[in-house]
């Protein structure tokens, strides 16, 4: 069953159209890669799913997005609720300038959790799920800004996990990281799909083929092909997909 379904999604930045009739379905508890050359609309598409584009002036969106029963584009949709269910991790790790503990506790506190015992539990659990607990358990009250880039990115993932999302959107989450930190995040993504649905924008073809179950290839704001990852990389139907994955453009 699809956890996310977009239907005929069009998006305009002012007069410029960036997405054309994007209709995609994403099954639960899978990793889905969004690939395509720079400027083809991958990040724009990702941001429509939790309405992050609303923060950009002059954006207009048409079509529909369902996250299970939730009509994402409805004016009645509660943004705090939506972004709790559909969390996001960005290219540059962006921890708050607070302690490690306060970064992870931020979301639960925002949702009204005040009990210290409960907060301690959720912070520890989230850091464990993000494979960071062992590295930080003895310095929870020191600044998150003292962590390495890879640790900061896992902290940002822990921060998302702490509010118990169903879906995690990741926009090039390893682009700013070294190969070892990248491998840790990739392992983590594969572990997390046991419980979460993960959409990842990536320019790294090996990464997409290593970690994702399904892959969507975008070009000029359109989805050219969407299939299981093996098919996209080994046996694509469309010539444009073949050209892109074999490095002939992009
Ligand atoms: N805030 C914005 N205002 C106006 N146009 C934008 C904005 N953000 C993106 N665009 C345009 O929309 C199109 C799609 O951009 P988008 O960033 O979604 O592509 P992308 O595939 O994620 O690219 P990249 O891989 O380089 O991050 C591009 O033509 C881009 O210039």
Ligand 1 center to 158 CA (angstroms): 27
Q: Which of 122, 208, 192, 190 is nearest to 157 (CA)?
A: 192
Q: Which atom of ligand 1 is nearest to the CA of 47?
A: 18
Q: Which of 91, 73, 93 is nearest to 82 (CA)?
A: 73
- Contact assessment for residue 167 and residue 85, using Cβ atoms and an 8 Å cutoff: yes
Cβ of residue 35 lying under 6 Å from some atom of ligand 1: no
pLDDT band at 204 (very low <50, low <70, confident <90, very high): very high
Ligand 1 center to 38 CA (angstroms): 8
pLDDT higher than threshold 70 for residue 42: yes
Q: What is the mean pLDDT of residues 76-93?
A: 94
pLDDT higher than threshold 90 for residue 168: yes
Please identify which residue in the block is written with the tokens 């306060």.
Answer: 102
Q: What is the ipTM of this complex?
A: 0.97
pLDDT digits (tens, 9 = 90+) for 61-79: 999 999 999 999 999 999 9
Count the domains in the chain. 1
Say which CATH number the domain at 136 has.
3.40.50.300
- Buried residues in 69-102 as b, exposed as e (16+ CB within 10 A): ebebbeeeeeeeeebbbbbbbbbebebeeebbbb
Q: What pLDDT score was predicted for residue 249?
A: 74
Cβ of residue 224 lying under 6 Å from some atom of ligand 1: no
pLDDT digits (tens, 9 = 90+) for 132-167: 999 999 999 999 999 999 999 999 999 999 999 999
pLDDT band at 250 (very low <50, low <70, confident <90, very high): low
**Strand, coil or helix: what is 64?**
strand
Q: What is the mean pLDDT of residues 162-183?
A: 94
* Position with higher pLDDT, 111 vs 136: 136
Ligand 1 center to 148 CA (angstroms): 28
Instruction: Output DSSP code: residue 114.
Output: -
| Range(s) of the domain holding residue 111 | 2-246
Q: What pLDDT score was predicted for residue 247?
A: 86
Choice from 37, 43, 52, 92 to test ligand 1 binding pocket (greatest atom count within 8 A of CB):
43
Cβ of residue 223 lying under 6 Å from some atom of ligand 1: no
């Amino acid at each position: 069953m699809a956890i996310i379904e977009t239907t005929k999604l069009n998006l305009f930045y002012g007069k410029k159209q960036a997405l054309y009739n994007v209709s995609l379905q994403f099954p639960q508890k899978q990793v889905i890669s969004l690939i395509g050359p720079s400027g083809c609309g991958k990040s724009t598409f990702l941001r429509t799913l939790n309405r992050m584009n609303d923060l950009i002036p002059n954006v207009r969106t048409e079509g529909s997005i369902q996250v299970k029963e939730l009509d994402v584009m409805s004016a009645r949709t509660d943004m705090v609720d939506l972004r709790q269910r559909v969390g996001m991790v960005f290219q540059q790790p962006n921890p708050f300038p607070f302690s490690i503990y306060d970064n992870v506790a931020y979301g639960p506190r925002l949702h009204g959790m005040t009990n210290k015992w409960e907060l301690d539990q959720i912070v520890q659990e989230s850091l464990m799920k993000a494979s960071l607990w062992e590295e930080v358990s003895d310095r929870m009250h020191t600044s998150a800004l003292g962590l390495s880039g890879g640790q900061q990115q896992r902290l940002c993932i822990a921060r998302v996990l702490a509010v118990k999302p169903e879906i995690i959107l990741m926009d090039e989450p390893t682009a700013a990281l070294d190969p070892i930190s990248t491998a840790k995040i990739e392992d983590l993504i594969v572990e997390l799909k046991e419980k979460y649905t993960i959409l990842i924008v990536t320019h790294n073809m090996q990464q997409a083929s290593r970690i994702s179950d399904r892959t969507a290839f975008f070009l000029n704001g359109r989805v050219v092909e969407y299939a299981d990852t093996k098919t996209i990389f080994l046996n694509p139907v469309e010539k444009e997909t073949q050209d892109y994955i074999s490095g002939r453009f992009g």
